[in-house]
């Protein structure tokens, strides 16, 4: 088998319009396919995010209590907390206003500090002094509030923030200690500690790991969320006990008890669903482009039947004919892919504002190219094998 580029280049020069269009088509296909795979990869990463808490031993108890009496609502929520803390197997329980399992669209806050010119987008989570123990937070800088175990409702007292927010507002965790932070959603509170990053909103939301935990000051409302830390390995047992404890109130209130299991959450389902969906769309785009290429290549082969017959009469083997078409296809693929990668760069720059944290995923780009190359080779092979079957006698038919 001879891989001779000369005849191929001459053919390409003879029909520049057709091959220019083919190159542009491949470029558009490669750029679109890689952009789809990059976005699929981004959604896949979203679907892989978890809260960073010890989910094996955490429950989330959400409740909604009808009624307009605010004092009664506050009393009911405090009573719930006390009942939960008293259930055997519960090590700690905390009221926290945010959860990664809450799929509703809620807007973030814009945090600012009189001690810093910076502003940062993040999430205020109203909670209590037991939260560090319940959630397993540990101080990176400063000290966390002691969990006295008493009634810790009331006005906002102080706060602790995640590393992400501390860096965005003050440059480093150490600089955040002792500073005051306020936003459109909370009064000024003093930062006493910086803790590890924890995802408290569905990861589709911006800066889901930038959180200000505020001890006290939770707005009164019908809804309440309580995180419950169970004894190691006792999550399922405690879940049953909690459900039993609140079963008698199902007619009056709405209560949901579930494990803090992000593998079963909406962002995982939507993230993985979109990743798969976009991959399917990418595959359709690839198939669409290759079917078009297959149809057009079939005509090019038909056009060259006499030329192929002459080559066969002059000694070219079937493999030489197939190789000829593959080399021709390779040239256009190479040119189209290079142009397409340029297009991918442009699309990547367009995507970045909408896909927070989007990174160059070499694997996705390589997968796009490999898929496109494989499909193109397949689309070329079908007419090329047909061309290889042209007998040398064809050369004399139209003479």
Q: Is 389 in the site for another protein (CB under 8 A)?
A: no
Q: Cβ closer to another protein: 187 or 319?
A: 187
Q: Is 378 in the site for another protein (CB under 8 A)?
A: no
Q: Is 93 in the site for another protein (CB under 8 A)?
A: no
Of 381, 378, 392, which Cα lies nearest the Cα of 317? Answer: 392
Q: Is 359 in the site for another protein (CB under 8 A)?
A: no
Q: Is 381 in the site for another protein (CB under 8 A)?
A: no
* Positions 165 through 184 that interact with another protein (CB under 8 A): 184
Check if the beta carbon of residue 337 is closer than 8 Å to that of residue 26.
yes
Q: Is 269 in the site for another protein (CB under 8 A)?
A: yes
For residues 113 and 175, what is the distance between their CA atoms, to the nearest angstrom?
Answer: 12
Burial label, 307 (beta-carbon count in 10 A; 0-12, 13-18, 19+): middle
- At 271, which helix (H) or strand (E)? helix 266-303
- Quickly count: other Cβ atoms within 10 Å of residue 354's Cβ: 9
For residues 74 and 67, what is the distance between their CA atoms, to the nearest angstrom?
Answer: 11
Least Å distance, CB 234 to another protein, is 28
Q: Is 105 in the site for another protein (CB under 8 A)?
A: yes
Q: Is 54 in the site for another protein (CB under 8 A)?
A: no
Tokens 């405090």 belong to: 78
Q: Is 151 in the site for another protein (CB under 8 A)?
A: no
- Stretch of 134-142, 312-320, 327-335, 349-357 lying at the interface with another protein (CB under 8 A): 349-357
Q: Is 295 in the site for another protein (CB under 8 A)?
A: yes
- Stretch of 101-109, 127-135, 193-201, 240-248 lying at the interface with another protein (CB under 8 A): 101-109
Q: Is 341 in the site for another protein (CB under 8 A)?
A: no
Rule CB under 8 A: choose which of 174, 302, 359, 378 binds another protein.
302
Check if the beta carbon of residue 51 is closer than 8 Å to that of residue 198.
yes
Tokens 């803390």 belong to: 85
Q: Cβ closer to another protein: 142 or 271?
A: 271
Q: Residue 66 has which token pair?
A: 């009808």
Q: Is 396 in the site for another protein (CB under 8 A)?
A: no
Q: Is 185 in the site for another protein (CB under 8 A)?
A: yes
* 89-100 residues labelled b (16+ CB within 10 A) or e (exposed): bbebbbbbbbbb
Q: Cβ closer to another protein: 162 or 230?
A: 162
Cα first-last separation, the chain: 28
Rule CB under 8 A: choose which of 122, 142, 217, 309 binds another protein.
217
Q: Is 17 in the site for another protein (CB under 8 A)?
A: yes
What phi-psi label fits residue 274: left (phi over 0), alpha (psi between -120 and 50 degrees) or beta? alpha
């Amino acid at each position: 088998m001879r891989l001779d580029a000369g005849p191929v280049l001459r053919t390409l020069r003879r029909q520049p319009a057709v091959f220019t269009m083919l190159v542009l088509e491949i470029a558009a296909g490669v750029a679109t396919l890689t952009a789809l795979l990059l976005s699929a990869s981004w959604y896949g990463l979203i679907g892989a995010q978890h809260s960073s808490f010890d989910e094996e031993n955490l429950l989330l108890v959400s409740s909604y209590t009808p009624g307009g009496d605010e004092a009664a609502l506050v009393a009911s929520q405090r009573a719930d907390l006390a009942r939960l803390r008293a259930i055997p197997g519960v090590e700690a329980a905390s009221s926290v206003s945010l959860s990664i399992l809450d799929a509703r669209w809620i807007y973030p806050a814009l945090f600012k500090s009189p001690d810093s010119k910076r502003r940062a987008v993040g999430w205020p989570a109203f909670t209590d002094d037991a939260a560090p123990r319940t959630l397993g937070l540990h101080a990176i800088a400063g000290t966390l509030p002691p969990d006295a175990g008493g009634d810790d409702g009331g006005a906002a007292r102080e706060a602790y923030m995640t590393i992400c927010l501390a860096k965005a507002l003050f440059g480093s965790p150490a600089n955040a200690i002792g500073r005051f932070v306020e936003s459109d959603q909370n009064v000024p509170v003093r930062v006493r500690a910086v803790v590890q990053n924890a995802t408290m909103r569905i990861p589709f939301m911006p800066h889901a790991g930038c959180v200000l935990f505020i001890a006290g000051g939770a707005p009164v409302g019908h809804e309440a969320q309580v995180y419950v830390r169970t004894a190691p390995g006792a999550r399922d047992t405690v879940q049953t006990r909690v459900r039993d404890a609140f079963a008698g109130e199902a007619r009056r209130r709405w209560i949901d008890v579930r494990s803090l299991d992000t593998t079963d959450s909406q962002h995982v389902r939507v993230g993985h669903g979109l990743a798969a969906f976009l991959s399917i769309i990418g595959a359709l785009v690839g198939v669409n482009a290759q079917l078009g290429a297959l149809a057009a290549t079939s005509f090019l082969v038909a056009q060259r039947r006499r030329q192929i017959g002459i080559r066969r009469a002059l000694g070219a083997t079937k493999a030489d004919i197939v190789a000829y078409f593959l080399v021709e296809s390779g040239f256009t693929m190479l040119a189209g892919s290079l142009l397409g990668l340029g297009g991918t760069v442009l699309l990547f720059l367009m995507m970045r504002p909408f896909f927070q944290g989007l990174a160059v995923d070499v694997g996705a780009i390589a997968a796009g190219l490999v898929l496109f190359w494989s499909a193109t080779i397949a689309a070329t092979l079908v007419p090329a094998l047909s061309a290889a079957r042209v007998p040398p006698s064809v050369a004399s038919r139209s003479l």
